[in-house]
């Protein structure tokens, strides 16, 4: 199966489309676990591609014997995730191309191509100095509201991200940084290759996503009132009711995020 824009098919007429895509070159962002992620340009426009070339049975069995999930094997899950987010009206990447070939799951080749999202900035970078240089209160509240609404929409429909950090939200800066407000905020959720889909989201996956989000925002100066604002919107219930009914979940999130921070400090700030 191969899906590509008609104009690309015309330009590559007579060639093996799959081989052409696998041979594309560009600025490489990642190359490991059988997956290569890179940015390239075509006809004056920027795109991102993820190309999967297979892990091999040895790597898969190694993960299984260690009781670990093997890394994602093909681009199919991200293709499906983008389609699902589109159905849920959650802003994400725009699909351009997709392809998959081969029957052996350990050596199956696949790719996914999306449009470059520009001008954008990751929320992790956008919020990095909030602790010492707070943003306008209205902007901070608007971003908290947006994150809570996206989180609620995903989780209420059985979708969890599995890498739900601020760095995987891109803030659209088309209107200019100084003109951002609640009426023009757009957040794109990216890196969807590990997304999971269910009819109903188990509590442990809700916990994992929310703890990751909280961990990645622990050093940007959020107040207790900011957290309460998120909780009220995420649950869709009066704050007092939300805090009482889901008390165990909020406690677990705090413990899990603290563990993530401890692990992060041990790995990246050993001398602090």
Q: Which of 68, 1, 83, 67 is nearest to 33 (CA)?
A: 68
Q: Average pLDDT, stretch 35-63?
A: 84
Starting at the edge strand found earlier in the chain, the sheet holding 2-3 runs 2-3, 95-101, 109-115, 45-52, 35-42, 27-32
Instruction: Among 20-29, 103-112, 176-185, 204-213, name the one with the lowest average pLDDT.
Output: 103-112
Predicted local confidence at residue 64, as pLDDT: 63
Separation between Cα atoms, residue 48 and residue 46, nearest integer Å: 7
Contact 159, 196 (CB under 8 A): yes
72-94 pLDDT per residue, tens: 778 999 999 999 999 999 999 99
Q: Average pLDDT, stretch 18-35?
A: 90
Quote the strand ranges of the chain, DSSP E: 2-3, 27-32, 35-42, 45-52, 95-101, 109-115, 120-122, 159-160, 169-172, 187-189, 196-197
Predicted local confidence at residue 102, as pLDDT: 84
137-156 helix and 224-235 helix, angle to the nearest 10 degrees: 40
Query: b vs e for 34-63, b when ≥16 Cβ sit within 10 Å of the residue's Cβ?
Result: bbbbbebeeeeeebbbbbbebbeeebbeee
For the CA atoms of 70, 254, 149, 112, the dihedral, rounded to the nearest 10 degrees, stands at: -20
Predicted local confidence at residue 53, as pLDDT: 87
Separation between Cα atoms, residue 226 and residue 141, nearest integer Å: 7
136-167 pLDDT per residue, tens: 999 999 999 999 999 999 999 999 999 999 99
pTM of the model: 0.93
Helix (H, G, I), strand (E, B) or coil at 264: helix
Predicted local confidence at residue 165, as pLDDT: 98
Catalytic residue among 145, 163, 172, 226: 163
Q: Check whether 71 has a pLDDT greater than 80.
A: no
Catalytic residue check, 163: yes
Contact 235, 246 (CB under 8 A): yes
* Residue-range domains of the chain with CATH: 2-115 (3.30.200.20), 120-268 (1.10.510.10)
Q: Distances in Å between the alpha carbon of 267 and those of 29, 219, 261, 264?
A: 22, 17, 10, 5
Cα angle 134-139-142, degrees, rounded to a multiple of 5 = 130
Q: Check whether 59 has a pLDDT greater than 70.
A: no
Q: Which of 132, 127, 133 is nearest to 170 (CA)?
A: 127
Contact 188, 92 (CB under 8 A): yes
DSSP 7-19: HHHHHTTTS-HHH
């Amino acid at each position: 199966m191969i899906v590509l824009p008609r104009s690309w098919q015309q330009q590559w007429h007579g060639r093996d489309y799959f081989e052409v895509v696998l041979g594309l070159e560009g600025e490489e962002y990642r190359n490991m676990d059988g997956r290569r992620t890179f940015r390239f340009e075509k006809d004056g426009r920027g795109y991102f591609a993820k190309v999967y070339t297979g892990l091999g049975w040895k790597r898969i069995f190694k993960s299984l014997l260690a009781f670990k999930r093997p890394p994602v094997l093909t681009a199919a899950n991200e293709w499906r995730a983008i389609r699902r987010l589109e159905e849920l009206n959650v802003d994400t990447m725009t699909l351009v191309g997709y392809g998959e070939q081969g029957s052996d799951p350990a050596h199956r080749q696949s790719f996914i191509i999306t449009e470059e999202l520009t001008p954008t900035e990751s929320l992790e970078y956008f919020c990095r100095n909030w602790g010492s240089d707070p943003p306008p209160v209205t902007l901070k509240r608007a971003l908290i509201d947006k994150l809570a609404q996206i989180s609620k929409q995903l989780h209420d429909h059985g979708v969890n991200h599995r890498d739900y950090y601020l760095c995987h939200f891109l803030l659209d800066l088309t209107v200019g940084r100084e003109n951002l407000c609640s009426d023009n905020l757009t957040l794109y959720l990216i890196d969807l290759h590990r997304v999971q889909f269910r009819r109903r989201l188990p509590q442990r996956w809700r916990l994992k996503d929310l703890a990751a989000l909280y961990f990645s925002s622990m050093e940007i100066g959020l107040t207790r009132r900011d957290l309460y604002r998120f909780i009220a919107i995420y649950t869709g219930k009066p704050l007092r009711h939300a805090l009482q009914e889901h008390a165990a979940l909020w406690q677990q999130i705090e413990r899990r995020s603290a563990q993530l921070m401890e692990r992060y400090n041990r790995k990246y700030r050993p001398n602090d």
